Structures are given as C-alpha cells and as structure tokens.
A = this chain, B = another copy of it.
Amino acid sequence: KADCTRLLLLSVSAATPTEEMNGAGNLMDFLDEPFPDVSTYEDFHTIDWLREKSRDTDRHRKITSKSKESLWELIKSLLDAWSGWVVMLLIGLLSGTLAGVIDLAVDWMTDLKEGVCLSAFWYSHEQCCWTSNETTFDDRDKCPQWQKWAELMTGHAEGAGAYVLNYFLYILWALLFSFLAVSLVRVFAPYACGSGIPEIKTILSGFIIRGYLGKWTLLIKTVTLVLAVSSGLSLGKEGPLVHVACCCGNLFCSLFSKYSKNEGKRREVLSAAAAAGVSVAFGAPIGGVLFSLEEVSYYFPLKTLWRSFFAALVAAFTLRSINPFGNSRLVLFYVEYHTPWYMAELVPFILLGVFGGLWGTLFIRANIAWCRRRKTTQLGKYPVLEVIAVTGITALLAYPNPYTRRSTSELISELFNDCGALESSQLCDYVNNPNMSRPVDDIPDRPAGPGVYNALWQLTLALIFKIVITIFTFGMKIPSGLFIPSMMAYHHHDWIIFKNWCRPGADCVTPGLYAMVGAAACLGGVTRMTVSLVVIMFELTGGLEYIVPLMAAAVTSKWVADAFGKEGIYESHILLNGYPYLDVRDEFTHRTLATDVMRPRRNDPPLAVLTQDSTTVEDVETLIKDTDYNGFPVVVSRESERLIGFVQRRDLTLAIKNARQKQDGVVSSSVVYFTEDAPQLPASNPQPLKLRRILNLSPFTVTDHTPMETVVDIFRKLGLRQCLVTRSGRLLGIITKKDVLRHMAQMMNQDPESIMFN
C-alpha cells in the first residue's frame, strides 16, 4: 500500500484521455468558446465541480440549438443524449467479462498449486472431475484424471514423502505467483497495487490522479489480481474488481467527448462503474448501486443512480452468462435453508454485531499501525521481498490446515451452508445414533462426532491465523472477517439456553445463519457500511428472510465501531496517505469564521491580485513566475479592492503566450484589460491585451463573518475549488479546498501538513 505512492516516480506514462487536450494548440479553440473554461487540471489537483457542470450545460445547449439545423445534427444530438447509456452498457459488458475471466483463472490457478488435470491441463479440479464419468456422488472431488503433483511425479499418492513434496510444490507455486504479481506491478503499473478503493474515493471526490485508471493499470491489475489471489495470500478480489471496473469506465469515457473532456461527467460514469464492480464481485447488482452510493461516491445525483443500476444489471447479467461458478444463479453462496429465526436469537445476533464492531476497530488500528511503520522505516524499501516473505509464511502455515488450504470462497460457501444428510464435510460429522427413529437430517439432537470437534479446532486456528496474516497483507478486502462467526455458531449449538426453548427435534439454531450474520457484522465493523452491506449479504446468499438479523448485526457493529473511531478502513487509508478528501460524513462543529482560515494570514504578504485595467503583461508574467497559485482575483483597483472576477493561472499563461506569438503589438509593457471595452489608446502606446474572455465573472464569494461550518458545507455540496472572502464588497482573501482540509485537520488536533500526499 505504502509503496504505491512512492512508486509514483517510476510511473510509466499511462496516458489518460484528458491528456490529449493539454497542448497549446487548443488555445484558439478555447478563445472561440463562449465561456473560458476549457483548460484541464494539473495532476494531483482538485477539480471545480461547479465549473465542470456549467461547461457541460454549455455543451448541451450548443448541441440542442444545433440539432434544429439539420437531420444529421439531430441524429448527433440523439447519439449524445444516449451516449451515457451506451457507456454504461459497455462498462457492464467489459467488467462482467473480466470478472468472469478472473474467476475462471483464479479457480484454475488455485488448483494448479496442488495438482493438475491429466485429461486437459486447463481444467480446474472441479471441472476435471465433472467431465470424468466415473464420479459418484460420495466423493466428487476424487477422480483419477486429477492428480496431485506428488502422484504425478513419483507415482505415490499417499505417504509422508508425497505430503512433503506436495507441501513444497504448493509453497513454490505460491511464491512464483506472488513474485510475478509484484514484479509486474512494479515494472508496468505501480498504481495497480492495493485495493484501490481509497484512491477511487479520492478521485470521485474531485481529485486528479493521472494514470490511476489508465489502460495499463487495467491490464496489469487484471493479471496481477489473478496471480495474487491464486498465490493464496489472505486477500479478496472484491476491492480490486471495483478498481478494474472503474478503469473500464475511464476507458469508455474516452470514446465520448462528453465524458472525456469533462471531469465532472467522467466522475458520474466512474460512480456507476464502481457499482458495476461490486455487482460482479458479489453477484449483487442492487448492493453494488448502494455500495457506490453509501461508500465510494461523492456526487451521486438520481441520474447516476439509474445509470449505475443499469450498468450493474448488465455486468451481473454478463457474468451470469459466462457462468464461472457452474450454476446458473447470480447468487454466489446460495443458502438452501429457509428456516425461520426466533425473536430470542436477536440477542446473539446483536452480540455478533458488538463483536464485529470490536474486531473492525482492532483490525483498522493494527493495520494502520503496520502500514505507518512500513512507510516510515526501512521496511518500505523492499516491497518485493516483503510480498515474497508474506506469501511464503502464508503458504507455509496454510497448507497443513484444510480450512486455510482451499480458496476462501469455497470455505465461505461451506460455512454458510447447513448440514444436510448427505454432506460429506467434516463439520457435519455428527454421530448417527441407530436407535433414533427420527429421520437422518435431524441433526441438532445428535451428539457431535469427533469430526466436529476436530473441525472446530482447525477453524479456530484458521481464524487466528487469518486475522493476524490479514493485518500484514493489508487486505484488499477482508474475507477473513467471514471466518469468525462460524465457530460461535457451533459453540452456541451446545449452549444450554438454546436447548431449553427449542422444541425437541426441530433444528432451531441454524449454524450457517450465524456464519452469515457474523460475516456481515465483521465486514460492517471494518468498512462501516450498513444498508449496502445488508443488501449485498442477502443478494449473496438469497436469504431474504434474514434481513432483520442482518440489519441488527450491521447497525450494532457500526455503532460499536464508531464509538472507537469514526473512520472505516478506507477513510483510514485515505488519511494515512494524506489524500485531500473532504468527507461528507465529518461534522464540522468548531466555531471558526472564514476570516480565520482565509489567506493571507495576518503577517503574510498581501493577496496576489490583478487589477482590471492597470496591470501590464510583464507584471502578470512576473506574478505567474513568482507564485504558484492556481488563479488570481481581479479587482477594480488596488485602492477600492472591489472584486470583479477570478482568472485561472492556466488560462492566463496560455492567453499571454498565445498573444505574444500571434497578436501583433502585444509586448511586455502592454496593459492587460479585463474590462468590457479597452480604451482607445494612441498608436504610439503598446497594443492593449483584452482578456475579459478568460475572466470568470461569477467567482464564488463568502463574507469574512461566514461560519466555517457553512463554508465547509458549501465546499462539499458545490464541490468548489476555491472561494473568495469579502467584507462589504471588498476583497479580503481566498480559501482553497486545501485550506479547508488543513483547517479541519488542525481543529481535530492533527498535523495540518499531513493533508496532502506525504
């Protein structure tokens, strides 16, 4: 995670679509534009949502008025109106396909660590034994076509020697996969590392990180995701799939100038892409939309809601068509039980919620502490070595325990399910009492067999191992959270309290339900999602009956975790990396005024301003050279200080450069005019330079007495980049988004300088 930002320096030129318009050649175009808003933003800068929006409205207006001119223009305007839906369709198709391919590849490569299919090496274990005709129902994962490595190489399937050889090869494959993954990331696309969700949140809030969603990142992230998951590291594919889907979104944005040239509109597409990503990660289209709304998006109008919905639908549908799980359900971990739950069970559900909240807090604290250590010590200098080491340890410890050896999704689906009569799993090894007259699937009254206790021990070990290793692996997402509850469920099973109020013979406690609720609680504690989490959980399992238990656990988990700290894992990583993210959830309650935050401060030099009719070209050039502000306010005169507008640094630079090259008579001593008409000057004087076109005549202003909570609100809701401060019409200073973030950090007793890439 930490090496991501450091690897920036190595970044290959993963060109994003916006870059095409960086050239000065566009200047003539933009001088023809009615509004002076064509310039794009620099890397690692904040966008101005209001400006992007008004640019889009202009564009829209132009197309609408043109559409009346000819049939061709009308068709073009219709195409433009539908381009949003087309982009959604394409995102859905591509991200669904990629998710399907990733699922198939992970399946195959995970099994490759243990053995190979003789009939066709590209078959996974399950596929291999499916195609084999000799399979009986009892042991469908044993078939002659599938051979473990030891069996293939030495001919001996059993024995200590074969075990050691298999163990060794398992570790070797894991190391190979993770080495490949980390090397590919380092060499080709440094941004492809990590979960991507903190960065996507930051980008969606209006920050520019060039290349983060580029083609190279897409390609490398897809490949390395397969490698990383297959290597057996304790990480999930869910977060990265969101990143992959956002890359798809960005890719398709470049097809339509409506989206590629407008950073605001682009972010609407990215929000929808994030929904599609979650939709394919969990097979949960509605959960995806809610996840995008609740967790990652910043600006989420209703239009985006509908489009996200459509993209998520198409993506889920594409994935279903590819059918990587071999069943025609969208639901990943379909649970077959529909037993009702009892009111009194709410108590353990709420306890699971409390537990999940505590676990979330612990996980976040430990993970952040470890990441901070990695950032600040020597450790961070050897990322490849670190990955290799963690993979080695993971593989070494995971192999002996059957619950950690297999892939996480297999494990989850076993834990979520109820024991049926025909289940061969060790967890269902209850003693079959021949004296009992009741049917064989009445499990609760039978005593647990040795297999169950054995399984409980192995699960407990697996749980502890996963908890510890996930903290160090960072966890793109934390499927390990899903482990915890299963044991609770089994312990509950023996509790006396349950025995008392259960009607004898009825399976009144469903262990799988506890696993499900516990998983929701733990995920809730870590990410602080509520509504989207519940929807994802029941889309994942099909257990619509269990909304109330899931809701109870999710809400409790959030309350408990929030009591220890407001930030979820993604916000914590945003803070750790110092991204300029203005969280909509933070309440600003301090009693400061705009005047306390604005610059210039008391002892600073005065604000760098331009006057409307008395600054020369040379003055402007000096100002640009001496400062690095993004723009300058323009006032009537230095005496009156009455604000008339705001000019962007970028526009100013381009305009002057252009005028110097193309416009005769513009020299250093030419006066720059921002007024409506420049005065007629005698011919001997240098030609004036009229720049009203690039002047923003409606800059956002607040008075110096405006409470900061209002200012913060305005910045959040309108997505401003800067705001000018006035008192009775006089310009006093300026507040930028970064000033606001710095001030908020200061008020929360954090180091204000930590706000910014660090």
Contacts and interface: CB of A to CB of B under 8 A. Distances in A.
Interface of A: 50, 53-54, 57, 60-61, 64, 285-286, 289-290, 294, 301-303, 305-306, 309-310, 313, 316-317, 320-321, 328-331, 340, 343, 530-531, 534-535, 538-539, 542, 544-545, 547-548, 551-552, 555, 558, 584-585, 587-591, 594, 636, 642-645, 697-699, 701-703, 705-707, 709-710, 713-714, 717-718, 726, 728-730
Contact of A702 (B301, B588, B698): B698
A643 to B, nearest CB: 6
Contact of A589 (B61, B302, B317, B703): B61
Given A309-B534, A310-B551, A320-B548, 7 more contacts: A57-B588, A309-B551, A313-B548, A538-B544, A636-B728, A701-B703, A717-B717
Nearest to A35: B707
B545 A329 contact: yes
A555 B303 CA distance: 12
B702 A551 contact: no
A710 B698 contact: yes
A289 B555 CA distance: 14
A129 B317 CA distance: 46
B710 A50 contact: yes
B301 A584 contact: yes
Contacts of A531: 286, 289, 305-306, 309
27 contacts: A53-B709, A57-B707, A57-B709, A61-B590, A61-B591, A286-B547, A301-B584, A303-B585, A306-B530, A306-B555, A309-B530, A309-B555, A310-B551, A313-B552, A316-B547, A321-B343, A329-B545, A330-B547, A331-B544, A331-B545, A539-B547, A642-B729, A644-B728, A697-B703, A701-B701, A714-B718, A717-B717
B317 A548 contact: yes
Nearest to A562: B306
B713 A50 contact: yes
Contacts of A729: 642-643, 726, 728-730
Nearest to A707: B54
B286 A535 contact: yes
B699 A703 contact: yes
Contacts of A717: 717-718
Contacts of A313: 547-548, 551-552, 555
Given A589-B64, A636-B728, A717-B718, A698 B706 contact: yes
Contacts of A713: 50, 53, 718
Contacts of A340: 328
Contacts of A286: 531, 534-535, 547
A726 B286 CA distance: 46
Contacts of A643: 728-729
A317 B341 CA distance: 13
Nearest to A634: B728
Nearest to A58: B591
A703 B700 CA distance: 8
Contacts of A709: 53-54, 57
A650 to B, nearest CB: 21
A332 to B, nearest CB: 12
Nearest to A588: B57
Nearest to A317: B548
List 4 tightest A-B contacts by C-beta distance, closest first: A729-B729, A697-B705, A698-B706, A642-B729
B702 A316 contact: no
Contacts of A303: 585
A287 to B, nearest CB: 10
Nearest to A696: B705
Contacts of A330: 545, 547-548
Nearest to A635: B728
Contacts of A542: 544-545
Given A286-B535, A547-B285, A306 B558 contact: yes
A353 to B, nearest CB: 13
A321 B699 CA distance: 57
A701 B642 CA distance: 14
Nearest to A585: B302
A216 to B, nearest CB: 33
Contacts of A53: 709-710, 713
Which residue, A531, A636, A710, has most C-beta atoms of chain B within 10 A?
A531
Contacts of A703: 645, 697-699, 701
B547 A544 contact: no
B309 A305 contact: no
A254 to B, nearest CB: 24
A329 B546 CA distance: 10
A587 B301 CA distance: 11
Contacts of A706: 697-698
